[in-house]
Amino acid sequence: MVVKSALKVVLMAGETVVAESEDPALWQDVMSRLYSREMPPGQEQLSERESNQGAKRIATDALSAMARDLHVTVEQLEGACRPRSQEPYLTIDHHVWEAYKRGTPARGRKAVGAAAALGTLMTLWVKRAELADATFAHVSGILSSLSAKDGMARRTVRNCAWLQVEGDRIRLNPARISMAVRFARSFITEEWSTYMNGAAAD
């Protein structure tokens, strides 16, 4: 035999019953509050703070990993392009940018145009940080922050041996990642002889 019992809300102080009620509206309200997914006051801020700390930890881990990939120090990587998990993702140091322009030719087989240079750094970073694909919009934004431009950005990237274009997205050529790494290491360290000597052999 099935026994159907009415639900009852009981308010107790220690072992003493202070009040009780079988009002369905009351116990439904109590149940909804007990099992509600809503956070108590202040919990939203705590959750947001924890989320930010998590994002920071992930970005820090990715930063260390990228530094290892490129055989540079985290400090060198930070100083050259300040990788972050939020857009614009990279902030290029002006001195490093000027060193890149002095260290590479404007034309010829060893030339790497502005959009391709930034596209290289972007693709390496978003891959390691597990972010969305690098895009021409990202590159354009970084160029603007440098008061620079590349009037043929798409062509520049297409002509770069280690980059590939898919719509508005810029990706690494999996078969030529070592070339991208060599370029990025030279960009970050401002030491271009390794790239230039390697580029001659590629």
Strand-pairing partners, residue 9, are 21
Q: What is the mean pLDDT of residues 36-61?
A: 53
Measured distance CA(74)–CA(35) in Å, rounded: 46
> Given this model, what pLDDT does residue 199 score?
55
Q: Residue 95 is which amino acid?
A: H
Residue 101 in tokens: 């322009």
pLDDT band at 198 (very low <50, low <70, confident <90, very high): confident
Q: Is residue 20 classed as helix, strand or coil in its secondary structure?
A: strand
Cβ atoms 189, 72 nearer than 8 A: yes
Measured distance CA(37)–CA(132) in Å, rounded: 30
Residue 82, sorted as left (phi over 0), alpha (psi -120 to 50) or beta, turns out to be left
> Given this model, what pLDDT does residue 7 score?
66
The phi, psi pair for 160, rounded to 5°, reads -85, 125
pLDDT band at 175 (very low <50, low <70, confident <90, very high): very high
| First and final C-alpha spacing in the chain | 85
Radius of gyration of the chain (CA): 28
Q: Is residue 28 classed as helix, strand or coil in its secondary structure?
A: helix
Q: Residue 171 is which amino acid?
A: R
Q: What is the mean pLDDT of residues 27-35?
A: 59
pLDDT band at 193 (very low <50, low <70, confident <90, very high): confident
Q: Mean pLDDT in the chain?
A: 83
Q: Pick the residue with more confidence: 133 or 59? A: 133
pLDDT band at 16 (very low <50, low <70, confident <90, very high): confident
Q: What is the mean pLDDT of residues 148-157?
A: 93
Q: Which domains does the chain have, with CATH numbers?
A: 52-201 (1.10.460)
Cβ atoms 28, 43 nearer than 8 A: no
Quote the distance between the C-alpha of residue 4 and its chain's center: 56
Q: Pick the residue with more confidence: 202 or 115? A: 115
